[in-house]
Structure 1
Amino acid sequence: MFSLAGFLCTVCAVTLGRSCFHIVSPGKWGGHPANCSTPLKSVQTGYVVILHTAGSPCKTQAECTQQLVNIQHYHMNGKGWCNIAYNFLIGEDGNVYEGRGWNTEGAHTYGYNDISLGIAFIGDFTGRSPDAAAWRALKQLLHFAVREGYLSSDYLLVAHGDVSNTISPGQPIRSVLKTWPNYKH
């Protein structure tokens, strides 16, 4: 059966010459309700922090869904946080997965949680870069965020390790980010 989402994705791909962008909500990936909802200081944030989850990567929606359930369980039950730490996560299946979402403070980067979107690539990227599908999803997410007013058009993109004492998101990701126009290190 041909779904409306499939039809719209086809129209998007034909019209724009690229694959469709969509965000998988927590209800679709099996997320538990959050125990918090502290808003960001500004609805239109000026920072994006790029991280990695430092765990197993995922190449299919089923694998990514399992990774998100595992991450949320660890963050909420192991760390005692109110939800998954990141605003959004990106899998190598090319999907963007909603964590805390657009206007909710994250728990990803001390000093930046309330003024930034925290976007994490799912996996450990200290030895390699995410695949093309994941990078494409990040570009589409950022474009969407600016277009819809969630992110300032002159936002600054930073790697987690640029603002915290960590190797996250890994040197391969930082090398790619250095070529992006909004990157600030």
Structure 2
Amino acid sequence: MQTAERLHFSAEDYLAWEATQAEKHEFVAGEVFAMVGARQDHVIVSGNIFAGLKQRLRGTPCRPYIADLKLKIEAADAFFYPDVMVSCHPGDLGNQQYISNPTLIVEVLSDSTAAYDRGGKFAAYRKLASLQEYLIVDIDARRVECFRRTAENDWLLHDYLGEVDCQLHSLSLSLPLAEIFEDIEAA
């Protein structure tokens, strides 16, 4: 992550400033970080997941969103741009700037963000009471790690690798790994 020119913002100042920027920036506790562009495989996999979710969620109260919509985590004083997220919360429908109550968040790993997606960002995501599942997608390994919240508020890892379907219990659906990694050349 790269810090933007101005080091400290309030959340309100960040939202006003971000609306005028050509590039996207994430916000964590007053600090603003520039987002770097994604490589083609990252965009393809994110799009595959979004498309699969959009198709399967038609006619439900749940909506998938792709990387250009912010996620607000009030308890972490943060705004992020997840690769894909799904909200089933009616309060999120009318907010044009951000989502606050996702059921599912998906991050597609890149070399520069992998440690943060697994560490600090996941710690912030866990502060969302609405979040039931967090997917970490590793393109190089053709692997999906699904962290699922338990009734005891612990997070249990379900590892999907090979010719299987990734089960999303929070949305009562599954996505085949072949669909998630469609159009990605073998490494």
TM-score (ref. length: structure 2): 0.31
Higher relative contact order, chain-length normalized (CA < 8 Å, sep 6+): 1
Give the helix-richer structure, 1 or 2. 1
TM-score (ref. length: structure 1): 0.31
Give the strand-richer structure, 1 or 2. 2
